[in-house]
Amino acid sequence: MAELPLNINACLGYSGSPLVYGGDGKYLSINGNIVSSFHVDLTRGEASRHFPCKGFGPDMLIAHPSFHFYAYSERGERAAVHVCSMEDGKEAVHMPNVGSIGLDCMSFSQDGESMATISSIPDHTVSIWNWGEDGVDLQVTGVSPQEFSSCHFNPKNSDQLALLGNGQLFLCNVVNSEQGALELEFLRFDPPNPDVEFAAFTWDASGRLFSTTSEGSLWQLDVSLYTLSGEPCFFTDNPWSSSSLLSFDRSLVVCTGDARVLWFDADSLSKLYEVRIPLSSSHSLVSACMCSDSQRGDIVLSSSDGSVFLLEMLSDLPQTFEMSEAEVKDADVVFGEMQRDKLHSLKRIMLSHVGRVVGLSFSPLLSHSLVSAGEDGKLIFWDCRKKCASAVQDVGRPLSCVEHHPSYSLLAIGDEGGSVQLLDVSAFPKMKSRAVFKLFHSKVVSLRFSDKGKSLAVMAEGSSHVYLLKVEESSAEVRGYVETGAASSARGNLLWVREEQLIVAAELDHLLRIENFSERSEEELQLAADLSTIRTEIACGQVARVGGKFAASSSRSKKVLLFELEGSWGSAGAEEVSSLPPAQPSLTFGAHDKVVLHIAGGGDAGLLASGGEGGKIVLRSGDDLLTVHALRAFSAWQGGCSSMCLSSPAGLLACASCNGTVLLLASSLLLEEDASGPPTRFTMGKKLYDLLGEEVEAGEVRTFEEVRLLSIQEMNNALNAVKKNEMRDRIRQIKAQLDFLLEKNSGAPELERIAREEIVIDAELRKRIIADGDARVEDTKRSISEENVSKEEERRRIKEVAWDSMETHGMKIHAFTTDVSVPNYPILKVEEERKRRIDRIRTMREIELKTLARQQQEFGASKSFVQFDSYSLSFDLKSREGGDKTGDKTGDKPSDPESLKSSAVLDNTDESWRAQQDDPLIYHRLNVTTRERKTAQIYMLESFITSVKTKFNALFDEFLKKKSATLGRMEEKQTRILEILKELKQPDAKEALGLHDEEQPNKLLEVSDREISAPKWVSPAEQKAKEEEARKQREASAGDANVERALNMMMGGTLAGVNAISKLEQVMTKPANLEVGENEELTEEQQQKLKEWEAQYKAFLAEQDAYAKSLEGEAKKLRSEIVEESKKFDDQLQELTDVKMRTEYKLIELELYKVKLIQAIAQEEDDILARQSLVLGLEELKYRHELAEKAVGEYLEEVQTFELRVDAVRQEGANLEKGLRKELQEHAADKETIDQAMKAFKKRGKLDDILQGFSADLIQRLDNLVAEARSQDEVVQEHVTQLENMQSELKRLEWAKTQIEESIAAAEEEMKKLLQRMAQAEYDLDLTVGMKQGQVEVEQSTFITDYSDAELVERSVMSMLNEAIKSRGGDKIAVLNEIKEFRKGIHLLQWDNQRLELQEEDCLQKTKDLQVHSSSSPASADPQLMFYSCCESPRAFSDSSKGPRARVRPPRKLPGWRR
């Protein structure tokens, strides 16, 4: 049977979902499976609107910038997006399969022409759609780099949007790819520092991007450079408080989690204004939206206490910072203004529950009044006409159910602590507590008033009692309880059939009926009653009355069963119930897709409502409840329906959700909203008072039954107090007599005294006490023994796993004088299976090498990649480089670059490379291309790593032996030092020498006495043995006293005699004959002997002093030798540290290489799985494409056939027109009449006025033709409408086919890229490269250096280039030397020329002097002498006096000689 829709009369409360502004003062929110639109101005009296959503529950909600549409996304498989009208909620655009499961976020662009969606797991696809009223087209799509929670377009650029998620902010740009197609580019903004995350962001109207961070700062971001811009502004002292960021005009608004709203100037980021929202410290702001079309930027806020606020700006923002000092008028006001100053006004416009609404009840006295109870402890009274709250009372404890009294102004509430409270609401909206009854220790799950209200039945979770309370207008008391025999579940329920007949549903396999209650006695609280049961096929936990029947449901089933009230009820015994067959219901309903949680009946009105876990609400009415109205009111992802209640007279259904909202539903729009004015301003009640005006405290700790039993016990104790006191007095007297006799017995003689063990008043008690003590001792021993066994087994397992499994245990050598320590490498034992696997791999590798060698012999050398990489896997502990055995052995001698090239090519062959490795079976890393080779390489690398560790451990053991030998020598020296100190009687400053605990691994398994903190328990036998041994030692020492005294007197205390005493301990005593008594004088002989003795004594003292100095010198030398020994070892240990460092470098390099190989294998496996998934996906898409093609083809044929049918129908209409014209022509009508008649016919009007004068028969026939034409027009219109629908459906099928084709193309492109990547992966190898400091020519970054545009150059290439540079440099230096020598000759020649010129001038001057002298000297007559004289050197003249002058030759002609 088809389901009719349920109408939404009202949505009461706020669900806590993000607020969305909808324009014209309206804000939107998601309430369950409904989108609600509320107006912020309550004085306007504008009705709220509620639009149901499709699917199982919306995920998110956004509004179109024009405010004509809103869009929401479904949550579930193949989630869709629905764009609906803001006026009536009708769907305008449907976007199917937008996400695999749901969407993370979506947004409209500022111009409203684009829409962005980001799907959630598993695909994380970012899609941008060209949006319009006619439909949507996918513009571009891409895979997002991570999950995102919000996205917004740049208002100035629809091809750019910002994305925020997981504390990271990205910029997404629509760009053109190299092929010309559109693609998405994702760029990440770096936070101020690594510990800071982005919290919120917004665009302003000019396209600037702003963001808040987790440290409480506000930043502007540069979208062109993708960096932070300028200086931040800090707005909170709580770094990790949540925040939201809004933009309006030239200002920014930050709403913080600690209930503050701050305004900032967008240009300077300076703080302008701050408002504190009056919330308690336990609550915070959760959502905010900007009223963008308001005059000054009003803000709608929501908080975690279920409130919605309107922050209205009354004037412009100040130019400098101002802190709002507005006083809070009333923080608990439900509707109305809370605070106000000259700049703003804060109003609370809605208050609702937080969390689950657990109870609903319509008032039978107040018209259209509904009360709801929540887990948050609030009672909210709703006015169903004004559709708002009329009173709110905070009870202060979590509630669980609520019920109105049918005739009195009383309200019963139950809480999770097991208490039931009756509230007097006669002075509504004020409430007073009538009575509080603590009945249970667990949650009250159901309470129901009887039809006349005389009794209140109460049931609790986990209890088998059903309490009955007697309720009158002015009093209430506990009547008693009925034992049901089985504990109720959390879904239990009660139903009164008559005044003294009650049905109990405890979610068992049967229903229980209780009737004929008896009155309880004063001694007993339990009531006698008649019990009967009816067995059901489901475990019923909910019951409701429907006319003369009752309905039952279970939270474990989707069914609702309908039974007769006077059915076949049987015995209530457990055995009888199990033997009964399940009762057959008169009707069974199953309209829910998930289990039924709640049902509500309309009493005699014949209505039945049910709410399921899937959020679906079903209302049945009519005969046999066959009229069905249904609506998915709540989200299936939020728990569905939490409570419901049905108003029988009005047919109004109230149902509640798990997120604090209440819906009013009906089969028709029954309630018109009261437009008499805005809601009345009132304050939420925080405290409850009783009728005397005293505050009601929290619920009692003890239940009513416990209090009654306690009072009875106190009364019995009071009655028996006298007897107890008399018995105590008698016991005291008997004890005093016994103490006197015991004291008398202790003072009696020993023969008359009775042993204390014989004086036993109660021998059996004594034996029992001793036996109990022995049993406790045995239990203690057994528990200690078991604990020891457990610890021993634990120790054995730890030793087996962590100690015995080690081939080499971890050790560490410590230096003597420094903090340097060097550990070795712990090595695990290799399992036999792994050994066999490694041996098998090595054998296969040997076979491979021999096969390759044979192939090279037969077919010639194959192409090798070894020549392109000279990397070596060998390692030498003694090498300073620690890696390359084939390094340059020629020192710094330069070599020819060409020879280096040729030698590198000749030497880097496979055979020569393997010959240089420690393990010749290992692959060169350029040959590790296949998965099998990578796996084999991993195993061989592990073996090689173990061998490197073993080599180092051998060197480590040698150093440990060296330290032991050094310690031996140091201990010998220290022993001698101790002997010297003992002889010198100096204090012993012994330094502990020995191996460190970390140098002795077996010490780990030994426990010393100092490690045991608990004192050792000594048994009596051990204590007795110790005392006996001490006694024997004392006796032995007493017998040896005389012997020791004689030894001291005769031999100096040692058997070796006086000569064995140290020289420093020897004493020289003065002879007795030289001692002088009183009044005595020494003789001359004695005086002479005394002088001799004094000289001997002085020499004795000098000898002792010299001996002591020699001992001190020896001790000092020994100490210096110990220091030298330790320093020498520490220097050697430093060499081991260097070796350890080089070994670590090599091992890290090998481990990194191994990890890269493992990653390559894992990537290959992932690629294989991805390829399989893509193949399966392509097959499925192709199959769907075939089905789509077939469906399009078949539907196209149907459309074409239907078009022919439409043409035929239109032709029939044309035939009617021809028939009319023919009739008129046959009856000789004139042309004007025919034209007028045809015009009227086309308008389908009447022809009576036109055809006056024609026969009535003709007019009747023509009127029949007009009527037939009208009906034919309707048929044509129906056919045309159906054809349009078929054509739109055909377009949809073609669009779906196009989407599948695009998906196939995308999958094939992805498959192509995957295959290309898999093909490249064989030779696209990850190689580890070791670089020394100073050899990296790339600018280093603070965090991670980017090497993407760097070039990696082989060291041999650099060596060849360096040698070539050196050679060219040598040639240039030689040329420069030649140039220097040539220029040197030129300068020397010029200098000689200048010297000769000066000599020439000097000779000329001398000639002149001779000529002057010849005029007065006879020698002047000889011209030849004069010439010779002028040509002599000055030295010849200066040396002429030293001897005969040598023969002077005439000067020869020199080059460049001038006369």
For residue 1330, pLDDT over 70 is answered with no
Instruction: Please indicate whether residue 1260 or residue 305 has the higher confidence score (pLDDT).
Output: 305
Q: Look up residue 694 and give its two tokens.
A: 């005293």
Instruction: Please indicate whether residue 453 or residue 901 has the higher confidence score (pLDDT).
Output: 453
Query: Residues 906, 861: contact at Cβ < 8 Å?
Result: no
The structure tokens 């004086």 sit at 759
- Report helix angle 1231-1242 to 1256-1321, nearest 10: 50
pLDDT confidence band for 840 (50 / 70 / 90): very high
For residue 501, pLDDT over 70 is answered with yes
Q: pLDDT by residue (tens digit) across 960-992?
A: 999 999 989 988 888 888 888 888 888 776 667
For residue 358, pLDDT over 90 is answered with yes
Tell me how far apart the alpha carbons of residues 20 and 287 are, in angstroms, rounded to a whole number: 9
In the chain, what percentage of residues exceed pLDDT 70? 86
Instruction: Please indicate whether residue 427 or residue 874 has the higher confidence score (pLDDT).
Output: 427
pLDDT confidence band for 115 (50 / 70 / 90): very high
pLDDT of residue 70: 93
The stretch 397-411 carries a mean pLDDT of 92
Instruction: Please indicate whether residue 693 or residue 1389 has the higher confidence score (pLDDT).
Output: 1389
How far from chain centre, in Å, is Cα 232? 27
In the chain, what percentage of residues exceed pLDDT 90? 24
Return the half-sphere exposure (C-beta side, CA atoms, 13 A cut-off) of residue 603: 12
Instruction: Please indicate whether residue 669 or residue 320 has the higher confidence score (pLDDT).
Output: 320
Q: Compute φ and ψ for 400, nearest 5 degrees.
A: -130, -20
pLDDT confidence band for 869 (50 / 70 / 90): low
pLDDT confidence band for 611 (50 / 70 / 90): very high
Q: pLDDT by residue (tens digit) across 1244-1283?
A: 777 766 776 677 777 777 778 878 887 888 888 888 888 8
For residue 950, pLDDT over 90 is answered with yes
For residue 409, pLDDT over 80 is answered with yes
784 by Cβ neighbours in 10 Å (0-12 / 13-18 / 19+) ranks as exposed
Listing DSSP states for 828-883 in one string gives EPPPHHHHHHHHHHHHHHHHHHHHHHHHHHHH-PPP-SGGG--------TT-SSSS
Lowest mean pLDDT among 493-507, 521-535, 1107-1121: 521-535
Q: How far is CA 713 from CA 706, 710, 719, in A?
A: 10, 5, 10
pLDDT of residue 1379: 92
pLDDT of residue 1432: 44
Q: pLDDT by residue (tens digit) across 243-278?
A: 789 999 889 999 988 888 999 999 888 999 999 998
pLDDT of residue 890: 39
Residues recorded for the chain: 1459
pLDDT of residue 528: 87
Tell me how far apart the alpha carbons of residues 147 and 705 are, in angstroms, rounded to a whole number: 56
The stretch 155-177 carries a mean pLDDT of 91
313 by Cβ neighbours in 10 Å (0-12 / 13-18 / 19+) ranks as buried
Instruction: Please indicate whether residue 948 or residue 1265 has the higher confidence score (pLDDT).
Output: 948
For residue 1418, pLDDT over 60 is answered with no
The structure tokens 């390559």 sit at 1160
pLDDT of residue 289: 93
The stretch 460-484 carries a mean pLDDT of 90
Report for 324-328, 827-831, 895-899, 1327-1331: range of highest mean pLDDT: 827-831
Instruction: Give the mean pLDDT of the chain.
Output: 82
For residue 404, pLDDT over 90 is answered with yes
Q: Look up residue 544 and give its two tokens.
A: 């409701």
Query: Residues 286, 269: contact at Cβ < 8 Å?
Result: no
The stretch 1212-1231 carries a mean pLDDT of 76
Q: pLDDT by residue (tens digit) across 916-925?
A: 787 888 888 8
For residue 281, pLDDT over 60 is answered with yes
Q: pLDDT by residue (tens digit) across 1333-1365?
A: 555 677 777 666 777 777 777 777 778 888 899
pLDDT of residue 677: 54
pLDDT confidence band for 868 (50 / 70 / 90): low
Q: pLDDT by residue (tens digit) across 558-603?
A: 889 988 888 778 776 656 667 777 888 888 888 888 899 999 988 7
Provide the sign of the torsion angle of the four alpha carbons 1265, 1266, 1267, 1270, taken in this order. positive
Instruction: Please indicate whether residue 936 or residue 519 has the higher confidence score (pLDDT).
Output: 936
Q: pLDDT by residue (tens digit) across 787-796?
A: 999 999 998 9
C-beta atoms surrounding 1327 within 10 Å: 12
One-letter-per-residue 3-state SS of 1002-1065: HHHHCCCHHHCCCCCCCCHHHHHHHHHHHHHHHHHHHHCHHHHHHHHHHHCCCCCCHHHCCCCC
Tell me how far apart the alpha carbons of residues 1165 and 1173 are, in angstroms, rounded to a whole number: 12
